[in-house]
Structure 1
Amino acid sequence: MAARAALRRRPPATVPARLRLLRAATVLLTAALAVLLLLAGLAVNGTWDGVADRDAPRTTSAADLSLALDDMDAQAANMLLASGARLRTPYAKAVGFYGDARRDIGHELRTLAVAAQGDRTDEKTVEQLTDDFAEYQELIGRALENDGREGGRAAAVADYRKATDLLRTRLLPGARKLVSSNDAAFEARYTAAHSTLSARLSAVVALGVLLLAVLGALQWYLARRFRRVLNPGVLAATVCALIAVVLGTTMLSASAEHLRGARRDAFDSVVALSRARAVAYDANADESRYLLDPERREQYARSFLAKSQELYGIEGATLSSYDSELAATWQGYRADRDDLRFTGEFRRELDNITFAGERDAAERTVEAYAVYQRDDRRIRALVAAGKERAATEFCMGWEPGTSNAHFGAWMSALDKVTDINRAHFTASVRAGRSTVSGLLPWATGLLLAAAVLTALGLRPRLAEFR
């Protein structure tokens, strides 16, 4: 009987084993959570590197290539027009812009060639674009050479026609294909990264709750077994673990939000506006082509309308009705922003307004576009009245009130909207990187502290059983 009573008074052998088990569980959970956060942070930084250093620049380079091709062709037409009409200032400006566009195209092709390495489809596209661009330059060079010869005007227009056909059937589709493929790569990275962040956030929350539950159970067991209300070491470990979990979840949720802001709020608009700018330059080129090549005037008029519809789509509109319908639909939009009577790249931007000043800038862009559209009708009216020189002077002039001046104002307004979105894209990338670098070291450090504090808090209790 005495021996049985002594056994009952003796602390059960399972007490230190349970303490060691809870300590081991705490250390394993803190280590697992720290590793998970570390891997998540490295992955987020890798995503930002891919987004900011590869995907976005590739997409904008492809869009800039498309724009430069349109601009180069427009300036080639302008040189031929200005030469024929003996317009010195427009000719000099066209020569300068032509050279700028040619240099831009060479730069963008080199950039895209490097970016395409490893992607055989894009590599072939860039190679074909490079070959086609060489052929295009040869045709334009021949057109300008023929235009300098007496009686060579017809041959110059024929050569330019071949060049612009090459541009429209091979160069521009190739450039737009690169825009789409690079933007699709960005979208795929964004979708995968956002999904991974959501999964890791759920895992961090689950591990964090489990860690806090183990620490709570350990505190409860110590209080019950050793008749102490709180163990200071375990309490401090619990506080560290709680803060680490909060910081870890904040890091992942904030990273997901910055990523969404960079892609959806900012870069989606950058892509739409870059496409709009390229289409605008192509439409402007159609006006020059219309004046240069009388045999194709109907074709270029239809092409101008098609591009106008890409920018600001109005169902059933013709060139004669477009201005009035644009004014009516725009007035409807200003009264009710849910008015859906127009579509196109401008609509995409107006439906994705996010940042301060963006809506005003976007609306001023559409209003500047409306002015440019009215200029186009004036050019066609002058041609119809047999005043082709006046139409050419108005189309190519840079004085206030001329078509080029209004086109420049439209592009400046468009650039302001693009710059707002580019700035916020850059800010989102910077904030996303800063979130990881600012919170990850604290979270992992606190988890390490939680493991150490747990061990220190249990050390005196375990010493009692030695």
Structure 2
Amino acid sequence: MTITAGTSHRPQPEAGAQSSQPAITPPGGSPGPQRQEASRTGGPGHRPAQQTVAAWAALRRRYWATVPARLRLLRAATIVLAAALALLLTLAGLAALGTWNSVADRDAPRTTSAADLDLALNDMDAQAANILLSNGDAGKGRLQTPYQKAVGFYGDARKEIGHDLRTLAVAAQGDKTDEKTVESLTDDFAEYQELIGRALENDGHHGGKASALVDYRKATDLLQQQLVPAARTLVSSNDKAFDAEYSSARSTLSSQLTAVVALGVLLLAVLGALQWYLARRFGRNLNPGVLAATVCTLLAVLLGAQLLTSTADDLRGARRDAFDSVVALSRAQAIAYDANADESRYLLDPGRRDQYAASFLTKSQELYGVKGATLTTYDTELATTWQAYESDHHDLRFTGEFRRELDNITFAGERAAAETTVETYAVYQRDDRKIRALLAAGKEDQAVEFCMGWEPGTSNAHFGAWMAALDKVTDINRAHFTASTDEGRSAVTGLLPWAGGLLLAAMALTALGLRPRLAEFR
């Protein structure tokens, strides 16, 4: 037997057998098997990063690595974007309807109610002066036709004021400043009616004209110093509120249009990518379902954009083209009635004739302003500046409410109606000079009869012709305001359902178009 030094032949343990000897820790703290494994994997601190990578890998395998996963992802993106676009258009459409409801049912009516209140207050005061002027001495020497008409107009104006105050009280709810203004107007109007009632009662007694004039002075001072300024404050306040809402609505519509176009382009891009992938992967030129969905989406985006742009255009037409003129003309009418009242006050109250003459000129300048004109030169200056305008419609040498209207001519027939208004106004102005000339000549009875008469050629008849012309141009703008609001509402109710329906169809067509392709992988 041969013995080899330094070698030993021992049987090797079988796989999986455990050694009977205890594990020996290497000197120097060498890592064991577990520490070696941790060292190979980067240590415990690297496990979250590995888990994140693994999660992304799993998501990629599930949602993108395979053809069905990619198709489902593109289908989901299409449906989500289409639903988002439909929701955006729905919210935009509802907001637009809310804007139209506010414009037509709140903003415009409360502004015009304030203007109507201003007009009715001045008309009531003018008719009170006319009653006192035409009544004679307790009915003796009464001018029957002017008296009866003045009494009728007085009652109509009083009813109109009551209606306007109720409308403005409702409109002012929530606005502390306007609420206080309407409350003050209501209290002051009650005091005004009491003073006028006392004046008319005194005028019914023989020799009571002087006492009636004292009460009328108090009433008309209250009107001019408190009632009319408060009414005009409400006109401005309500008009500014309307204008602020208009600006906000236009800005919102612009933002919504940008969002609709952006979402629409993104949706069309996803549909285009889906069509390209189907053609590339399956060797087909076009998928009919996806193609039909693309057409529906394109039409929906176009309809949505048209809805928003037409709403913005109609809103501008209602506010800027039509209602700006309505406000200017309503102010002009209220000022006209106030100026007409100044003529009656001028004849009624000799002690205040200079005051009322100056007030008449001031109101004339508010209507048709001519720099530096006096009552003596006003007619000549008016004729000269108007002739310049007729020669060149861009040559406007005057200011005032009529200038505001002529700067905003928009609709068919509006310019001719506005020009007629100025021309009839010029006739009325010449009548005023005749009244003053008759009075200066000592012909007071003739001046009163010419001022208050309704026969053709008298001042009241010419005033009526002027107001009819003013009403005509106002009605043109009111009609277009109403038409713009109706068109705006129709655009929303007509286009929104179609746009929403097309987007729903796009979602359904996309799902149907992909269904056969996905079925190939089942």
Instruction: Determine if the alignment matches structure 1 residue 426 to structure 2 residue 478.
Output: no
Which residue matches 1:8? Answer: none
Which residue matches 2:303? Answer: 247
Query: Match for 1:128 among 184, 204, 228?
Result: 184
Which residue matches 1:48? Answer: 100
Query: Match for 1:387 among 439, 443, 447?
Result: 443
- 1:18 partner amino acid: R
Instruction: Determine if the alignment matches structure 1 residue 443 to structure 2 residue 499.
Output: yes
Instruction: Map residues 148-187 of structure 1 onto 2, 5 A cutoff.
Output: 148-187=204-243
Which residue matches 1:7? Answer: none
Q: Which structure has more helix as a fraction of its residues?
A: 1
Deviations 1:19-75 (A, max 9, x none): 111111110110000000000000000000000000111011111111000000000
> Deviation at 1:112?
1.0
Q: Please say which structure displays the higher CA radius of gyration.
A: 2
Which residue matches 1:21? Answer: 73
**Stretch moving more, 187-196 or 404-413:** 187-196
Instruction: Determine if the alignment matches structure 1 residue 57 to structure 2 residue 109.
Output: yes
Aligned to 1:354, what secondary structure does the other structure show?
coil
> Deviation at 1:119?
1.3
Instruction: Determine if the alignment matches structure 1 residue 198 to structure 2 residue 263.
Output: no
Which residue matches 2:427? Answer: 371
**Distance in 1, Cα, partners of 2:257 & 2:333:** 39
Which residue matches 2:277? Answer: 221
**Distance in 1, Cα, partners of 2:283 & 2:248:** 52
- 2:340 partner amino acid: N
Aligned to 2:243, what secondary structure does the other structure show?
helix
> Deviation at 1:150?
2.4
5+ residue gaps, structure 2? 1-63
Aligned to 2:376, what secondary structure does the other structure show?
helix
Which residue matches 1:145? Answer: 201
**4+ long deviations beyond 4 Å:** none
Deviations 1:342-386 (A, max 9, x none): 010001001111111111000000000000000000001111111
Deviations 1:211-234 (A, max 9, x none): 111111111111111111000000
> Deviation at 1:337?
1.2
**Distance in 1, Cα, partners of 2:65 & 2:289:** 23
5+ residue gaps, structure 1? 1-11
Root-mean-square deviation (Å): 0.9
Which residue matches 2:409? Answer: 353
Which residue matches 2:133? Answer: 81
**Distance in 2, Cα, partners of 1:82 & 1:413:** 27
**Distance in 1, Cα, partners of 2:278 & 2:391:** 69
- 1:147 partner amino acid: D
> Deviation at 1:151?
2.4
Instruction: Determine if the alignment matches structure 1 residue 38 to structure 2 residue 90.
Output: yes
Aligned to 1:427, what secondary structure does the other structure show?
helix
- 2:463 partner amino acid: F
Aligned to 1:319, what secondary structure does the other structure show?
coil
> Deviation at 1:116?
1.2
Aligned to 2:135, what secondary structure does the other structure show?
helix
Instruction: Map residues 82-121 of structure 1 onto 2, 5 A cutoff.
Output: 82-84=134-136, 86-121=142-177
Which residue matches 1:67? Answer: 119
Instruction: Map residues 190-339 of structure 1 onto 2, 5 A cutoff.
Output: 190-339=246-395
State how many pairs are aligned. 455
**Stretch moving more, 311-320 or 17-26:** 17-26
- 1:21 partner amino acid: L
**Distance in 2, Cα, partners of 1:19 & 1:217:** 11
Which residue matches 2:464? Answer: 408
> Deviation at 1:136?
0.4
- 1:41 partner amino acid: G
**Distance in 1, Cα, partners of 2:209 & 2:290:** 91
Deviations 1:186-234 (A, max 9, x none): 1111111110000000100111111111111111111111111000000
> Deviation at 1:13?
4.0
- 2:435 partner amino acid: I
> Deviation at 1:309?
0.5
Deviations 1:397-417 (A, max 9, x none): 000000000000000000000
Aligned to 1:421, what secondary structure does the other structure show?
helix
> Deviation at 1:148?
1.8
**Distance in 1, Cα, partners of 2:339 & 2:205:** 29
> Deviation at 1:155?
1.3
> Deviation at 1:15?
1.9
**Stretch moving more, 398-407 or 213-222:** 213-222
**Distance in 1, Cα, partners of 2:162 & 2:471:** 23
Aligned to 1:314, what secondary structure does the other structure show?
coil
Aligned to 1:400, what secondary structure does the other structure show?
coil
Aligned to 1:320, what secondary structure does the other structure show?
coil
Greater relative contact order: 1 or 2 (C-alpha under 8 angstroms, separation 6 or more)?
1
**Distance in 1, Cα, partners of 2:153 & 2:217:** 20
> Deviation at 1:113?
1.0
- 1:339 partner amino acid: D
TM-score (norm 1): 0.97
**Distance in 1, Cα, partners of 2:486 & 2:298:** 27
**Distance in 2, Cα, partners of 1:259 & 1:364:** 28
